[in-house]
Amino acid sequence: MRSILVANPKGGSGKTTLATNLASCFATLGHQVILSDLDRQQSSAQWVERRPSALPFIQAHTQRGKAPAFEPDWMIVDSPAGLRDEKLSAAVKDADCVIVPVQPSAFDIGATRDFLEVLTEEKAIRKNKTFVALVGMRVNSRANSALILSEFMNQAGFPVLTYLRNAQVYVTAAEQGLGLFDMRASLVEQDLQQWEPLLQWILETTETRD
């Protein structure tokens, strides 16, 4: 099993958007996927409940739920805001890779800067047993905030994989229990292109850990 932890202590940073779309991607490819929702709001679990039965199956799992009935190919973990200390260490140790979403705001950048400093002290990361990378979320490339975000991420010390645009298609997909990878490609062509570097990095890093 390969495990992806999506983490940032800042609420509303885009963790659930990343987690649900990653689950959608790997399920569409024919893999067995569990989407583990550790957040109190249970947004990922609710997304799974809205997911049409005709689409590739994704198993939701919550802290209070029963253990999964099968061994998945992929475990996508949507972590709660404020994940830290022993719980953070355990989650990082169990993950093949950690993806940190960052939005272009001073609040998000400040919270993420502090979080990345904590991550660099995690033993699994220092020993290259778990890999970390950044993804820009809801980015308007024409706005000055996008430049500020880019400067921060490029100096953060971890790979910068991609910048996902601020598009209505993500809202529409979430409302319907869909991921971009469940939708007609012609409708999300630009967005799928932005996802390619992220998916390639995940595949390369998880193979390295194996």
Domain containing residue 164: CATH number: 3.40.50.300
What local confidence, expressed as pLDDT, does residue 69 receive?
Answer: 67
What local confidence, expressed as pLDDT, does residue 64 receive?
Answer: 60
Q: Which residues contact 28 (CB under 8 A, 6 or more apart)?
A: 56, 179, 181, 182
Tens digit of each residue's pLDDT (9 = 90 or more) over 137-151 = 999 999 999 999 999
Tens digit of each residue's pLDDT (9 = 90 or more) over 81-110 = 888 889 999 999 999 999 999 999 999 999
Low-confidence stretches of the chain (pLDDT beneath 70): 63-69, 208-210
Q: State the residue range of the domain holding 23.
A: 2-209
**How far separated are the first and last CA of the chain, in Å rounded?**
10
Question: Which tokens go with 140?
Answer: 């308007």
| Nearest one of 130, 65, 122, 64 to 96, comparing CA atoms | 130
Rg (CA), the chain: 16
What local confidence, expressed as pLDDT, does residue 83 receive?
Answer: 85
Interior/surface letters 138-172, b for 16+ CB within 10 angstroms, e for the rest: bbeeeeebbeebbebbeebebebbbbbbeeeebee
What local confidence, expressed as pLDDT, does residue 163 receive?
Answer: 98
Number of domains in the chain: 1
